[in-house]
Amino acid sequence: MSYKNYQEAFDLSFNNRDKFWGEAAEKITWYKKWNKVLDDSRAPYFYSWFEGGELNTCYNAIDRHVEAGRGEQFAIIYDSPITGTIKKITYKELQNNVAKFAGVLKSFGVNKGDRVIIYMPMIPETLFGMLACARIGAVHSVVFGGFAPNELAVRINDAKPKIILSASCGLEGKKVIEYKPLLDKAIEIAKYKPEKCIIYQRPQAKASMIDGRDFDWNSSFEKATAAGCVPVKATDPLYILYTSGTTGIPKGVVRDNGGHAVALRWSLEYIYDIKPGDVYWAASDVGWVVGHSYIVYAPLLTGCTTIVYEGKPIGTPDAGAFWRVISEHNVKVLFTAPTALRAIKKEDPKGEFIKKYDLSNFKALFLAGERLDPDTYYWAGELLKKPVIDHWWQTETGWAIAGNCAGIELLPIKAGSPTKPIPGYDVRIVNSDNQEVPNGQEGIVVVKLPLPPGCLPTLWENDQKFIESYLSPFPGYYFTGDGGYKDNDGYVYIMGRVDDIINVAGHRLSTGGMEEVIAKHPDVAECAVVGVHDQLKGEVPIGFYVLKAGVNRDSKDIDKELVSMIRNEIGALACFKQASNIKRLPKTRSGKILRGTIRKIANGEEYKVPSTIDDPAILDEITVALKNMGYANKK
């Protein structure tokens, strides 16, 4: 498959959808070829790709490369500056480990369609577990190791896993985070109880085991017999990945096997310009969609070497950490979040560390997860002297909606824009009446149905929630939840969320969920949490609360308690560090809290006092509170 330019590829993806994706699917090995490329018999809500086809994602990610003579090529480079470990794993070694661990799962009664929750750090064994599930047709659900027990329990209740895979600990800089107590607490409070847990003991901490429920990873592995690949339908689920919900209840995004494999294989070659044998690095975590798509599946489906990095952009040991990895392992493309670049820029504004390393094989830096501010874009481009490419996508889509297809044609870059829609995505800008708006006018970003392969076909066991959340708001379109516009050249600009999901260092978190936590405090009558601009993390949440009548405690003590509650129930990654006691929350006469107005005041943006406000004077109190928190005000 080759395209003359971006426009040819984009046009073909709509003018002859079956040809475009049928040719892309030829890069994947199938046990049984599909009957239809796109099945729209359940439109307008449900579409399926490669109906009737059968394949195995693990076979495509590992076994076929070994059979093609690439067994001695490195599949995974595990680089952990925290532990001082570098371990290189060939495709043949990966095949042996994954097949054997698939045997472990089978010995514990895990079969095709069963769910397995994976609550583990960034180590090779985490990938072994994911790929072993794919090998036998089990459905994995990875939960980020930093999540608190309550968040894990919610996911246990929804996915109903037969077993849970975990480790004794994760490492965050110099901190050792013991996972087992968190896991035990989550199982204790969960209504659904998994049958077994398999625990990987790391040397940094030893987990206590519950007899009859918990089993040691290594001893189970030694006793197991290798298992082969199980054919599954293209439409069968590969994994569930939970994303924040506006009601505090996370949504289980489902990824199918067939469309996922085809889309990710296509994307790595044509968006990132990566070929088999190249070294590709997504500096993320497998608890997030970037890790699933571009640490695990896309590189291995393509036959690349992927980096599993257990470290930070700074402090492990310094602001040159990323450049050291790129130089040492001959990385061609790095994909990370703007937050990481901002952290590096803060520590090394002149880029002195970049000069210490040979980056001659490094071709491009891709950024996503939050809006790339022009200042960071120009800083990275000037110092690296390489293309810095923004792109935009979501947990739900699994790969880029808008970007610059470096493997087809690198279009002129405009700071602040992720460039143009990727082939397969018909991106439109509409108003609240579902009418398209002219170029340059801001509106709501939607994608005309059907979505391309690889995107969510539904939510886990909740078709109705899928329709309500994504399809009903704008009939005929997928609702992205983002606002933005297109310019006269067709470039897309994403301006931010239109709901209460905020983006903290690339992690989508629900302010509604945080409000639910704060509301549990016995002294709090009502509260509001909003996301405000943060130079390093993109956005951070801040809280306001009203005390119940008769409470005479020092509000500073309550502030600390609320911060602690968010940390315990949602996790440190929420970055919730400030709360302020106020007499009243600003509301409309109908009782709606004016979160948008609070956010504009905090960010120093122009704002109008809403005509529906019940008491304009309350905004003065909000302004004072925000100034005390370190935020500006400008009318």
- CA–CA distance, 362 with 498 (Å, rounded to integer): 36
**Per-residue pLDDT tens digits for 217-247:** 999 999 999 999 999 999 999 999 998 644 4
Short-list 137, 68, 127, CA closest to 98: 127
Q: What number is the average pLDDT over the span 475-504?
A: 89
Question: Helix, strand, or coil here: 430?
Answer: strand
Q: What number is the average pLDDT over the span 371-379?
A: 85
Query: Cα separations (Å) of 309 from 93, 236, 405, 478, 622?
Result: 19, 30, 25, 34, 42
- On whether the CB atoms of residues 537 and 569 are closer than 8 A, the answer is no
Q: What number is the average pLDDT over the span 2-28?
A: 97
Both structure tokens of 156 = 């246990």
Q: How far is CA 370 from the centre of its chain?
A: 11
Both structure tokens of 522 = 């016995």
- CA–CA distance, 490 with 313 (Å, rounded to integer): 34
- CA–CA distance, 290 with 292 (Å, rounded to integer): 6
pLDDT for res 247: 43
- CA–CA distance, 524 with 177 (Å, rounded to integer): 31
Residue 385 β-bridge partners: none
Average pLDDT, the chain: 93
Q: Terminal CA-to-CA distance of the chain, rounded, Å?
A: 55
pLDDT for res 589: 57
pLDDT for res 587: 82
**Per-residue pLDDT tens digits for 290-347:** 999 999 999 999 999 999 999 999 999 999 999 999 999 999 999 999 888 988 998 8
- CA–CA distance, 388 with 377 (Å, rounded to integer): 7
- On whether the CB atoms of residues 405 and 269 are closer than 8 A, the answer is no
Look at strands 507-510 and 501-504 and give their pairing. antiparallel
Lowest average pLDDT, out of 64-78, 113-127, 375-389, goes to: 375-389
Position 201: which residue type?
Q
- CA–CA distance, 78 with 286 (Å, rounded to integer): 13
Both structure tokens of 327 = 């130089």
**HSE of 557, CA atoms in CB hemisphere, 13 A:** 5
**HSE of 495, CA atoms in CB hemisphere, 13 A:** 12
Look at strands 139-142 and 524-534 and give their pairing. unpaired
- CA–CA distance, 479 with 468 (Å, rounded to integer): 10
Question: Helix, strand, or coil here: 170?
Answer: strand
Going along the chain from its start, the domains and CATH numbers come out as 6-423+451-471 (3.40.50.12780), 519-629 (3.30.300.30)
- CA–CA distance, 84 with 86 (Å, rounded to integer): 7
pLDDT class of 596 with cuts at 50, 70, 90: confident
pLDDT for res 632: 63
Position 155: which residue type?
R
- CA–CA distance, 349 with 588 (Å, rounded to integer): 45
- CA–CA distance, 530 with 545 (Å, rounded to integer): 12
